[in-house]
Chain A
Amino acid sequence: MATEKIDVVIVGAGASGTLYASVLAKAGKKVVLLESGPDWQLSDLISSDFWGRRVKPAGIPFLLEGKNPYGYAYQAGWGVGGAALHYFANFPRYMPNDFKVKSEHNRGLDWPISYADIAPYYDKVAAEIGVSGDAKAEEIWRPKGEPYPMPPMKTFRNGDVWKKGCEGVGIRMVPAAVGMNSTEFKGRPPCIYDGWCHVGCPIGALANPQVTYIADAKKAGAEVRALSTVTRVLTNPAGTKVTGVEYYDAKREKQVQEASVVVLAAWSAQNPRLMMISATDRHPKGLANSSGLLGKYMMAHYASGTWALFDDDVENHMGTVGAQYMSYDRYDKASKKDAFGSTFIVAGTALKTSDLGGFANARLDLFGPKLTDFMKRAKRGITRLTAFGEEMPNVENRIELADGKDEFGMPLAKIIHSFDQDAVALWNANFEEGLTIAKATGAKEFWSARGNQPTIHLFGGTIMGTSAGDSITDSYGQTHEISNLWVAGPGLFPTEGASNPTYTIFAVSQRGAEQLVSKWGTIAG
């Protein structure tokens, strides 16, 4: 069944999709957001690690392969808000060196734009949704910009001990920039530091889409259709324009939503899968894929965690799940010998007992009475430092369609992912440095949070570049080959940096959405 043609259909109601919806709806466009999961409300966000798992997908249309299979469900979102409903709201930005890795080091790829192109949008996003931090302090590492609209968040001993440790080994820590309210902001209350950010903040102190872009988009007339799974992007016979999408609605009935523009914002793996599934005679390898690079260059961050245990109370139940302090002092791509890539260090986080990040997992080897003893010792005295590492783009890390079908009869896809030698070496080097820092904190005990090398965040698959020969989209997210098919989100990133990506996702999306509005007359189909 076909519905009335609209201006824009957006696939996915996460960070980038909701921002697009807000900008486009405010510009007067008729917007529909299709989201495969539920329409979560703030009142659904129960403060509990296991109730919080409901905002993540249950069963995914991907097979996870490679030496380091991607940890999809923990990272992903399911429902309105997407992963930005459970993100930690760390808002560090990318640095100028992230945009020119190929030019500066003959490694990886260049972005077709520079830091200066994105910087105004960081400021714009901060003013729009609220960021707390100390811009001046950060400017020891980056070009000057606007101050953040709110001062830094409170800190607690669980962060202060790491600041001292870092300073002891010559690493500067500054207040972390976070998408949270240190003071009231646009009628949203300040944070109360109870550490439930990761299961969804229901009070509006954390800038999740429910209280920012979705609220704005709805106010401007955008419509959200939850439990609506897009199965195909539709094109005209010539393959020159997209005409809308096919999807299954909440009643599991097949629908067609015609639109002048389609924006794919279903995250880095689902966007290329949809574009592959939507292949036609005119686009036999998938939409906008004459380069053959659709689904290629998938990347993930990895973290080297260090635990420190103190005899006294470090107030580890207090704070946010975002960081209190951050450092770019190891962000130079060549900081570590024989381990190419940036490292971003954060510290100071509220801890809960259970779930993957809970402190029961700080000693995953312990069970039985030894675990009981450990929990008693750790309950007030344990704290964690995290060093995120950068993985270089590798064309072998990819999405490809697989045998097997999802519940709608559409092909599953594989995410094939392996870390290269540099990523493994940097991961190890960051563990070593973490122990050095921990020693300088004066902690009674400290150890590395080693296990399988984790995969965190997800990038690539629809990278931006200069032409249809080297990439899928331009720097705005417009596909090179189909002018009214746009892609949004971290899938556009040709390199991933090492710092948390959502602030950059917002900034790149803001830039893209504004471009779409300003060039509407030449783009809309």
Chain B
Amino acid sequence: MSEIERRALMKGAALSALVFTASGAKVLLSPRQARAQNIAFKTLTPEQVETLEAVGETLVPGSKQAGISHFVDQQLSVPPGEALLEARILNVRPPYANFYRAALGAVDKASKAHNGDRGFAQLKDDERFAFVDLMRQNKIDGWQGPAGPFVYLILRSDAVDVVYGTMEGYAALGIPYMPHIAPEKRW
């Protein structure tokens, strides 16, 4: 059997797309599509979405449009055993929503404490970079919550996942993806 035949045989054999709810119906979408369709969030608050997108975009440009918030929000709504989050393999204890609430809360709280009561999303680009660089090195005074370097690692991983970890991401970077079993929605 040739390589191509083998791949064709395996392709599409399993469900591998995220399930979102649109107008009461279950639909399979990539996070980018979910964002474009303005799918309602189930778990994250508007403030948390704003912070996550701002941190994500600071860490990995393109992650906001790629749907980092819809990815994380959808993932927080599924049972832990179905979760695809990097938090899973880094021993974060489910429910993962607790970690994200604590992490995003810590970012905003520290941002407000050091930036005249402005949350992270309200910071200018250079302020965001300076903040993240300090968080990465665990150098933010008065930080409260999961350790700053760990928050950096998890959120950076989520952002990398949605920008670089997808079939779209590989294509954009110019690397062959070469799946045995391709994810649906190129995701």
Interface residues of A, Cβ cutoff 8 Å to B: 37-38, 42-51, 53-54, 56-60, 64, 71-74, 78, 189, 192, 194-196, 201-203, 317, 352-356, 358, 360, 364-365, 367-369, 371-372, 375-376, 379-380
Q: A196-B179, A202-B180, A365-B136 are in contact. Are A354 and B165 (CB under 8 A)?
A: yes
Cβ-neighbour of B173 out of A47, A73, A365, A376 (below 8 A): A376
Interchain CA distance A379-B90 in the complex, whole Å:
25
The reply on B182 being an interface residue by CB < 8 A is yes
- Separation of A353 and B171 alpha carbons in the complex (Å): 12
Q: Which residue of B lies closest to A376 (CB)?
A: B173
Cross-chain contact A355 with B88 (CB below 8 angstroms) = no
Question: Nearest chain A CB to B52's CB is how many angstroms away?
Answer: 15
Which chain A positions have C-beta within 8 A of B173? 353, 375-376, 379
CB contacts (< 8 Å) of A375 on chain B: these are 164, 173
Whole-angstrom CA separation of A448 from B111 in the bound complex: 32
On whether A51 and B89 interact (CB within 8 A), knowing A194-B178, A202-B181, A354-B157, the answer reads: no
Is the beta-carbon distance between B14 and A44 smaller than 8 angstroms?
A: yes
How far is it, in angstroms, between the C-alpha of A38 and the C-alpha of B14 when the chains are bound? Answer: 15
Instruction: Say yes or no for B86: interface residue by CB 8 A criterion.
Output: yes
Chain A at the B interface: mostly helix, strand, loop or mixed?
loop
Q: Which 4 A-B pairs have the closest CB atoms?
A: A354-B165, A47-B179, A43-B13, A194-B178
Q: Which residues of A contact B177 (CB under 8 A)?
A: 47
Query: How many A-B pairs fall under 8 Å by CB?
Result: 151
Which residues of chain A are within 8 angstroms of B129 by Cβ–Cβ distance? 368
Q: A379 to B178, Cβ gap below 8 A?
A: no
Asked if A60 and B14 make an inter-chain contact with CB atoms under 8 angstroms apart, the answer reads no
- The minimal Cβ–Cβ distance linking A422 to chain B, given in whole angstroms, is 26
Inter-chain contact A203/B94, CB cutoff 8 Å:
no
The answer to the question of B146 belonging to the interface, with a C-beta cut-off of 8 Å to chain A, is: no
Q: Verify A192–B61 contact, CB threshold 8 A.
A: no
Q: With A48-B16, A51-B183, A353-B165 given, is the CB distance from A367 to B59 under 8 Å? A: yes
Chain A minimum-CB-distance residue to B125: A368
**B residues engaging A (CB < 8 A)?**
1, 3, 6, 10, 13-14, 16, 58-62, 80-86, 88-91, 93-94, 129, 132-133, 136, 152-153, 156-157, 160-161, 164-166, 169-170, 173-183, 187
B84 and A50 contacting across the interface, CB-CB below 8 Å: yes
Given contacts A356-B89, A368-B58, 13 further A-B contacts (CB under 8 A): A48-B179, A50-B86, A53-B85, A54-B84, A56-B89, A59-B80, A73-B90, A74-B90, A354-B160, A355-B86, A358-B164, A358-B165, A367-B59
Q: Is the CB of A192 within 8 A of B6?
A: yes
For B175, give its contact among A57, A71, A201, A353 (CB under 8 Å): A353
**Contact B89 A43, beta carbon cutoff 8 Å:** no
Chain A residue with Cβ nearest B178:
A194
* A44-B132 Cα distance, complex, nearest whole Å: 37
Q: List 24 A-B contacts (CB under 8 A).
A: A37-B81, A45-B14, A45-B181, A46-B179, A47-B179, A49-B165, A54-B82, A54-B84, A58-B80, A64-B91, A71-B91, A73-B89, A74-B90, A78-B81, A189-B6, A195-B178, A196-B180, A203-B6, A353-B175, A356-B89, A367-B132, A367-B152, A368-B132, A380-B175
How far is A152 from B157 in the complex, measured between Cα atoms in Å?
Answer: 35
Residues of B within 8 A of A367 (CB): 58-60, 132-133, 136, 152, 156
The answer to whether B93 and A59 touch across the interface, beta carbons within 8 angstroms, is: yes
Tell me which residues across on chain A come within 8 A of B133, comparing CB atoms: 367
Give the residue name and chain of the A residue nearest to B59 (CB). Answer: A367
Contact of A48 among B58, B59, B157, B183 (CB under 8 A): B183
Q: Chain B residues near A371 (CB, 8 Å)?
A: 59-60
Q: Is the CB of B84 within 8 A of A369?
A: no
The chain A residue sitting closest to B13, CB to CB, is A43
Closest to B169 in A: A353
User: Do B170 and A73 touch (CB < 8 A)?
Assistant: no
Nearest-CB residue, chain A, relative to B179: A47
Q: How far is the CA of A476 from the CA of B86 in the complex (A)?
A: 37
Q: Which residues of A contact B160 (CB under 8 A)?
A: 353-354, 358, 360
**Contact of B89 (CB < 8 Å), options: A45, A53, A194, A368:** A53
Nearest B residue to A62 via CB reads B91
List residues of chain B with CB within 8 A of the CB of A78: 81
Given contact pairs A44-B14, A356-B89, A369 touches B183 in the complex (Cβ within 8 A): no
| A73–B91 touching, CB < 8 Å | yes
A196 cross-chain contacts in B, Cβ below 8 A = 178-180
User: Could you tell me the distance in whole angstroms from the C-beta of B120 to the nearest C-beta in chain A?
Assistant: 14
